[in-house]
A = this chain, B = another copy of it.
Amino acid sequence: MVASSSLRFDLKSYLKERQRQVEAALNAILPPQDPPLIYESMRYSLLAEGKRLRPILCLASCELAGGTAAIALPTACALEMVHTMSLIHDDLPSMDNDDFRRGRPTNHKVYGEDIAILAGDALLTYAFEAIARHTPEVPADRVLKVIAALARAVGAEGLVGGQVVDLQSEGRDDVNLETLHYIHTHKTGALLEVSVVSGAILAGASEELQEQLRTYAQKIGLAFQVIDDILDITATAEELGKTAGKDLAAKKATYPSLLGLDASREYADQLITEAKAAIAAFGAEADPLRAIADYITARKH
């Protein structure tokens, strides 16, 4: 399926161009300011190398729904800010205690725990400011919907809730598939889902289209996490840009540990098939989303 999509659509060039666009926007929307230390810390993590998957999904979804990438760019930046905040806080000593991220020392290793916590707080806050202040082309009621949806995806009903259950599950050997599913649909899935759905809302998509895109996003979100679990076992630290084999060392419940490696790979493939089925009604305008779905199962890091 990778091959057939690639015949029509050059994903590599598309992602490269979009990454460039998103990174230019991130750099512009959060320039160095006073007090210098906090902006350095925010920019250190925000501008570190990354796939920019969430912003790219938002832009692609907005375009599929008839909007322009330009109207979704501040929201796309906000999604990357929220994602970066979650990485900075997750890496803290009292959480996952990680020293490396995106191939570099984690934020608190460079700036200290206090500044890392505050940089996360400031990025989270600025995400909402960026959307509220920089989306004047879109009717205000739609922008409010995007803010409400993003907040729900990030808070105790979403990402934070997933992280809490993840922390509570650590070191326990009775974590079942249901709990693992909860953790991932909240910790990773919710933000990927709102990345896609927010683009559609900004474009003024119908409820029906929003639901199709939501299904697509839920499927690729879960597949993304299954692949992440697989890569933690099969990839090297160099490929990942972060510590490998952490889940095994921590005896963490993962899809491979509960389902086995082969069944996990099949599960991921099935989810990607279902994701593409959800947007099957569309023509070439959905090629970016199809190719991104394929890319998720094909990725090596």
Interface residue stretch chosen among A124-132, A243-251, A262-270: A124-132
Which of A99-107, A157-165, A200-208 lies at the interface? A157-165
Cβ of A278 within 8 Å of any chain B Cβ, yes or no, is no
* Of A125, A132, A151, most B-chain CB atoms within 10 Å: A125
| Chain B hits for A145, CB < 8 A | 132
Residues of B within 8 A of A95 (CB): 114, 117
Task: State whether B155 touches A129 (Cβ < 8 A).
Answer: yes
Question: Do A35 and B165 have beta carbons less than 8 Å apart?
Answer: yes
- Which residues of B lie under 8 Å from residue A34 when comparing CB positions? 161
Q: Is A156 an interface residue (CB 8 A)?
A: yes
Inter-chain CA distance A168–B94, complex, in Å, is: 22
With both beta carbons as reference points, the residue of chain B lying nearest to A134 in the complex is identified as B148
Q: Is A37's beta carbon under 8 Å from chain B?
A: yes
A121 touches B124 (CB 8 A): yes
Are B118 and A42 in contact, with the CB atoms below 8 A?
no
Interface size on A, residues (CB 8 A): 49
Which B residues are CB-close (under 8 A) to A154? 121, 125
Check if B122 sits within 8 Å of A94, measured CB to CB.
no
Q: Which of B38, B85, B117, B156 contacts A156 (CB 8 A)?
A: B38
Q: Is the CB of A113 closer than 8 A to any CB of chain B?
A: yes
Interface check A76, CB cutoff 8 A: no
For chain A, residues 73 to 111, give those with C-beta under 8 angstroms from any C-beta of chain B. 85, 89, 92, 94-95
With A35-B165, A95-B117 as contacts: A133 and B160 at CB distance below 8 Å: no
User: Within the assembled complex, what's the spacing in Å between the Cα atoms of A118 and B165?
Assistant: 12
Closest to A141 in B: B140
Cα A58 to Cα B296 in complex, Å, equals 47
By beta carbon, the residue of chain B nearest A114 is: B94
CB nearest to A139 among chain B residues: B140
